[in-house]
Structure 1
Amino acid sequence: MFARTRTSSLNPTLTTLSTAVAATLLAAGAAVTGLPGSVSPAAASVGTAAVHCPRGWGSLPQASTGTGTGVVTGVRSGTHPCYDRLVVDLGRMSGTVGYRAGYAKTFTTIASGETRDLRGAATLMVSVQAPAYDSSGRPTYVPANRWEVVSTSGYPTIKQVAWGGSFEGETLLGIGTRARLPMRVSVLTDGTNQRLVVDVAHRW
């Protein structure tokens, strides 16, 4: 098994890492998106080597108050031996990233209040305190398809990613998952570039 990563932008592309590259990343304990590796609850097998996954994730809401001034510049996804991952790129920003993530009964968009059922048996709502537009109101990120922000074909856990809009400094995404499964939210910084990372485990 090897991991894949996918991107979505104004001109979306689909990138599939080669088996050799993915194997190298996994051997180094790194995630496909370049984030520190740790793969979710239980253990999985990659070729003949067992991958041991961290435990202790839950399905309760997670949140953090932020003071950052970044904007959404992209959305990516990836699949790993034990979890699927969604990454929200926030570009160069100062301060910290604020976010809220939690399971909800249904997906509801910002401002318009439109509701929609997403694929899968559970819906994970992810809100990041960063707009998808700059100080002049010009978009910094627009998905090509708001109901299919990234391709999740073949992913064990994430079945759909929908765009909930960006309004008053907040951007919302809905993740349709196979079930209400353990999840982890983290913020990664590379220099002054930050990104919000949401991992959803394949199983309890």
Structure 2
Amino acid sequence: MRRLTTALAAFLLAGAGMTAATASVAAHHGADRPAVCRAVDWGSRPKARAEADTKPLTDIRVGRHDCFDRMVFDVHIPGDHPIGYRVHYVDKLYQDGSGSMIPVRTGAVLEIRVAAPSFDVEAGSARYPGRAGKPLPGVDLSGFRTFREARFGGSFEGDTQVGLVVRARLPFRVFQLGNHLVVDVAHSWRELR
């Protein structure tokens, strides 16, 4: 009965509207932001997992979320095998194999290496149409809060390299979801507290 009374009181107060002071306190403590913005424990240190099985990269996609921008690597890997990766901030982006510097916009550069070549060795054909030093095909970053530019570094010795320019050295996370490797970069450090 006490819960019903409390719920009814809360309903009536909500119906009457919040005072400006209550709204200000709620906003200050982050009540207006999704819980994920306040609850994550990311960082900006390198993240890696040794590769277990190398299969071709088929696509790279991006998406915007309330608290972060997301890049997804689709890997043609059967079942739930782990996808190897290394993701870390670099001062400059150098193409794997040739060592040539890839010019990018101003910002922090997140180098992403995925243990998935852009070509299918067994079939002898390209699976992902990226070209070294060029923007990622089909990826439009206009309107993103954190992502600024994405360049295809190349595919060399079973790895695909991507340079992702973000507006600052922000916290990020990397995880695998089925046949997808996901890289999320937070919009700010403050939102993660």
TM-score, normalized by the shorter chain, greater than 0.5 = yes
**Correspondences of 1:1-204 after superposition (within 5 Å):** 50-52=33-35, 53=37, 54-93=39-78, 95-136=81-122, 137-143=124-130, 147-149=134-136, 150-189=139-178, 194-204=179-189
| Structure 1 SS opposite 2:176 | strand
| Unaligned residue ranges in structure 2 (runs of 5+) | 1-28
Distance (Å, rounded) in 2 between the aligned partners of 1:101 and 1:156 = 20
Distance (Å, rounded) in 1 between the aligned partners of 2:130 and 2:30 = 34
| Unaligned residue ranges in structure 1 (runs of 5+) | 1-41
1:138 shift after superposition: 1.3
| Structure 1 SS opposite 2:55 | coil
Name the structure where strand makes up a greater proportion of residues. 1
CA contact (8 A) 2:132 2:153 kept: no
| Structure 2 SS opposite 1:115 | coil
1:144 shift after superposition: 7.2
CA contact (8 A) 2:102 2:133 kept: no
Query: Closer, same or farther in 2 for the Cα pair 1:44/1:61, shift >3 Å?
Result: farther
Deviation string 1:147-193 (CA, Å, 9 cap, x unpaired) is: 3211101111010110010011111000000000000000111xxxx
Distance (Å, rounded) in 1 between the aligned partners of 2:57 and 2:100 = 22
- Number of aligned residue pairs: 155
Deviation string 1:52-85 (CA, Å, 9 cap, x unpaired) is: 2232110000000121232100000001111000
CA contact (8 A) 2:102 2:153 kept: no
Identity of aligned residues (%): 39
**Aligned counterpart, 1:28:** none
Query: Closer, same or farther in 2 for the Cα pair 1:43/1:116, shift >3 Å?
Result: farther
Rg (Cα) greater in structure: 2
Distance (Å, rounded) in 2 between the aligned partners of 1:65 and 1:154 = 34
Distance (Å, rounded) in 2 between the aligned partners of 1:117 and 1:153 = 19
